[in-house]
Amino acid sequence: MAKPPHSIPDSELDVLKVLWDRGRATVREVLQTLREAGHVGNKDGKPWSYATVATLLDRLETKKVVESDRADQAFTYRPIVSVKDVQRRRVESLVDKLYQGEPGLLVLHLLKSHPLDPHQAEEVRALLEEMREEPASKPPEDAPRSPSDPSP
Amino acid sequence: MAKPPHSIPDSELDVLKVLWDRGRATVREVLQTLREAGHVGNKDGKPWSYATVATLLDRLETKKVVESDRADQAFTYRPIVSVKDVQRRRVESLVDKLYQGEPGLLVLHLLKSHPLDPHQAEEVRALLEEMREEPASKPPEDAPRSPSDPSP
DNA sequence: ACGCCCGGACGACACTTGTCTTAGGATACA
DNA sequence: TGTATCCTAAGACAAGTGTCGTCCGGGCGT
C-alpha cells in the first residue's frame, strides 16, 4: 500500500501547488504567495483566511501528502508527493472514466478540440517519431509505482 | 449562463454513461444495465440499490444534465448534455489545474507516460500532419458554446 | 511586568456525495 | 377484493469539502 487512495480536492491542490513552487513554506508564506498571485479562494472572490490555509495544510498532512517540521517558531511544510504523481493519478482517472481507459482517445480529443501552438505541435511530432523507432521505451517516468520521489 | 457550474461526480457519471449508451432509460433499466455490465457501485462491491440509482438520476435532473418524461407508468430519463460537453469540461479543468492551462503539456505527458497502441499512434500522426497544413480548421466540434445539443 | 501579535489547536457549520429505508399511490393478478 | 409489485417522493445519515471563528501559550517591544 504505497498510496492511500485519498483524493486531493481542488482547494488543497491550490496550496499544494504553492509548496511545489517554492519547495517549502509556512502557513503565512503560502497565504502571502496566494494573495500576491491573485488567488481567488472562496466563491465571493474573497481571499482565504489564515485559518483556511492552515486547515488545508493540516488535511494534506494527515493525507500524507506533505510533511511539516518545526523550524523556527512556525511550522514549515513541504510536499512529499511530486507533481507527476498527482498528474498521473488525475489523468488515469480521467481516462478511465471518460475515455474507456484509452489514453489515445484523450490525445485525439485534445488535439482536435484544443489548439496547440506550433512549437508544441512540433515537439509532439518529434516525440512520436522517436517512439516509432523505440516503441517499448520506458523513461523512468513509468516506474511500476514508487510511493513518491519528489526529492530523493 | 449556458452551463451551471454543477459538477458531475463519479457515481452520477456512471448512470449518465448508461443514458449516453442507450439514449434513454428508466431507473430500472439503468439499474439492470449496470448490473449486467458488472458495475461495482459501493465500496463493498455490492451493486447499487434501486433507490440509489433513482437518487442519482434525480440529482442529475436538478442539475439539468438529464430530462425526464413520463412515458408509460415509469419515468424515462434522457441526457441533455453530450459526452463531449462533459469531456471538454473535465479536460479543461484538468489542464487548468495541473498543466498551466497548456493542453500541449498534457499531450506530452500522455504520450510519454501512457503507451498508446500503434494504431492510435498512427492516427495521431496523421492528425498532426493534417493540422500542419491547415492550421485553422475547425470541425463543428469547436462551436463558440451552445448550451448543449445532443438532440435539439 | 504588561499587553500584543503570531502561530497553532479545536471545533464548528453548511453543502456535496455516496447509499439507503420507508411510506404511499398505482397496477396487476389470483 | 386482497395481495404482491412496481414506482415515486421524502428524508436520513455518514464522510468529505469549503471556509472560517476562536481560544490559548509564547515572545517581544516598552
Provide mean pLDDT across the span A20-38: 95
A151: left (phi over 0), alpha (psi -120 to 50) or beta: beta
Give residue B148's pLDDT.
40
Helix (H, G, I), strand (E, B) or coil at A105: helix
Provide mean pLDDT across the span A43-69: 93
- The spacing between the Cα labelled CA in A75 and the C1' in C1, in angstroms, equals 29
Length of chain B: 152
Domains of chain B with CATH codes: 10-79 (1.10.10.10), 83-132 (no CATH)
Please answer yes or no on whether A121 and B131 come within 8 Å at the CB atom. Answer: yes
From chain B, the residues in CB contact with A10 under 8 A are 97
Nearest CA in chain B to A83: B98
Closest CA to A129 of B135, B109, B128: B128
From chain B, the residues in CB contact with A141 under 8 A are 112-113
Please answer yes or no on whether B98 and A111 come within 8 Å at the CB atom. Answer: no
CA atoms within 13 A on the CB side of B137: 12
From chain B, the residues in CB contact with A117 under 8 A are 104
- The spacing between the Cα labelled CA in B50 and the C1' in C30, in angstroms, equals 27
Candidates A114, A127, A135; nearest CB to B108: A127
Tens-place pLDDT, residues B93-152: 999 999 999 999 999 999 988 878 888 888 888 888 887 666 554 444 444 444 444 433
Cell numbers 438529464 correspond to what residue? B66
Residues 28-47 of B, Cβ under 7 A from nucleic strand C = 41-43, 46
Helix runs in chain A, H state only = 10-22, 27-36, 50-62, 83-98, 103-113, 118-133
Q: How far is Cα A76 from Cα A72, in angstroms, rounded to an integer?
A: 8
Tens-place pLDDT, residues A68-91: 998 788 999 999 999 999 999 999
Candidates A95, A110, A142; nearest CB to B103: A110
From chain B, the residues in CB contact with A139 under 8 A are 112
Please answer yes or no on whether B95 and A112 come within 8 Å at the CB atom. Answer: no
